[in-house]
Amino acid sequence: MSKQRINAALEEATDTRAVNIEAGALASVPEVFRENFGGGTIVVVADGNTFEVAGQEVQRELQDAGYTMMEPYVFPAEPQLYAEYSNIEKLRDALQEHDAIPVVVGSGTLNDIVKRSSHECERPYMCVGTAASMDGYTAFGASIEKDGLKQTLSCPAPRAVVADLEVLQNAPGNMTASGYADLLGKVTSGADWLVADALEVEKIDPTGWSLVQDHLREWTGSPAELRAGDQQSTEHLVEGLIMSGLGMQSYESSRTASGAEHQFSHLWEMEGLGKDADPPLSHGFKVGVGSVAIAALYELLLERDLADLNIEALQNSWPTREEMEQSVRVQHTSPELEEGAVEQTLAKYISADELAERLRLLQEVWPGLREKVGEQLMPAGELKEMLEAAGCPTTPVEIGLGWEDFEKSYRRAQTIRKRYTVLDLALETGLLDDCVEELFAPEGFWGRATEEAGDRTL
């Protein structure tokens, strides 16, 4: 674990002041609390599982250190806690009965619930992570279902984070695999930022970029060892996830850690994919399949010479604002998703003249950009193998998605967020449909995978 790297990143962060990750770190909870909150009353928040795994010990450590402890707030172990707003209301109402500082012991969902509830009570909180399952520990915002729609509710990141490697190592394998997939997704999200930067849509911020990208290969380099429970690989993973969250804090946007692969994930999330599975389909597993999908699309685009586009023809066939809105509406089946997608798509809409201007810039920068993006990426096949080695799903069928819906995801995902990604590049160069067709043709990346999947079921 590079404490220096994390400490340097903390200097850039807006909310989080301390991170302690090491074997035996649970014992450091009282000291980390004292340094970052001083005295006061504490309430441990957990669920039945995480209380068992680490919550009891945290409670005991804090008690022994002389803190006044409230009765722990423990959500039931079964059914698995879901990130829905009613849970936030329940916890918020309980927190309002006192003024104790929450110390959450758990991973993604619990952290998100406590993050938002604490914010609604205008209280800072501390997090003790129990699985290296996503990069949200040190990120702001909570991903919560409210009014039937999954959304990111705003709230600051925890003031302090502690994670005990021994606890993380023993977390369920699918949780660690999910964290790995979330982290490996920064390969494609980085490529998207390079594209947005070159086209002058969103400049790269050197600090935000470095925090996430500089050591990404090192953090993700040993998936098989990670799956086998190796401590150093777990350490690399959690360092990457924590740094990724701090990168978002530093840049004050998730651009540093989320591109088109996350748009696939968010689309499927909003469509309710895997919500009723047991356990529910994780964020990371959706991101993993999205990353392979995006890497495969990049491969086809990088084969082409985008300096050679027929700009006039593309300009003439570019949809008007109204046509663009119509094309978004026909693609979505859920009314809430449709409205959100229209709003996001129109927020990034450019006129035919602006398109021509952007494409002329693309022609100019393409040779350099092609090289940079090529260096940033890895082949889709390699990405797929790494995910498999870590124990992650890599095909739509494995996450319960039909091939047809998967194919449509390329176009649908482009519409749901205004963030500029490779999906926009492909759309604006008139190549999105062609590339998707090529990917799903019998000899294409997904065409071959469909065949293999078919063979397996025979």
| Nearest distance in Å: CB 245, Zn ion | 10
| Nearest distance in Å: CB 136, Zn ion | 7
Complex with Zn ion: residue 267 or 435, whichever CB lies closer? 267
Complex with Zn ion: residue 189 or 429, whichever CB lies closer? 189
**What is the Cβ-side half-sphere exposure of residue 393, based on CA atoms within 13 angstroms?**
20
Cβ partners under 8 Å of residue 415, min gap 6:
328, 331, 332, 341, 344, 345
Task: Give the C-alpha separation, 186 to 294, whole Å.
Answer: 11
CB 128, CB 57: distance < 8 Å? no
Complex with Zn ion: residue 112 or 182, whichever CB lies closer? 182
Q: Which residue is nearest to Zn ion (CB)?
A: 182
Task: Give the C-alpha separation, 317 to 312, whole Å.
Answer: 9
Complex with Zn ion: residue 182 or 271, whichever CB lies closer? 182
Complex with Zn ion: residue 119 or 283, whichever CB lies closer? 283
| Nearest distance in Å: CB 149, Zn ion | 18
**What is the Cβ-side half-sphere exposure of residue 178, based on CA atoms within 13 angstroms?**
24
| Nearest distance in Å: CB 291, Zn ion | 10
- Give the interface with Zn ion as residue ranges (CB under 5 A): 182
The one-letter code for the residue type at 190 is G
Task: Give the C-alpha separation, 332 to 317, whole Å.
Answer: 23
* SS3 category, 452: helix
* SS3 category, 356: helix
DSSP string, 274-322: TTTSSSPPPHHHHHHHHHHHHHHHHHHHHHS-GGG--HHHHHHHPPPHH
| Nearest distance in Å: CB 286, Zn ion | 9
Complex with Zn ion: residue 102 or 290, whichever CB lies closer? 290
Complex with Zn ion: residue 57 or 182, whichever CB lies closer? 182
| Nearest distance in Å: CB 189, Zn ion | 9
The residue behind tokens 């450590």 is: 61
| Nearest distance in Å: CB 39, Zn ion | 35
| Nearest distance in Å: CB 157, Zn ion | 14
DSSP conformation class of 105: E
Complex with Zn ion: residue 62 or 416, whichever CB lies closer? 416
Strand residues in 147-265 grouped as ranges (E) = 149-153, 160-164
Main-chain dihedrals φ then ψ at residue 105, nearest 5 degrees: -115, 105
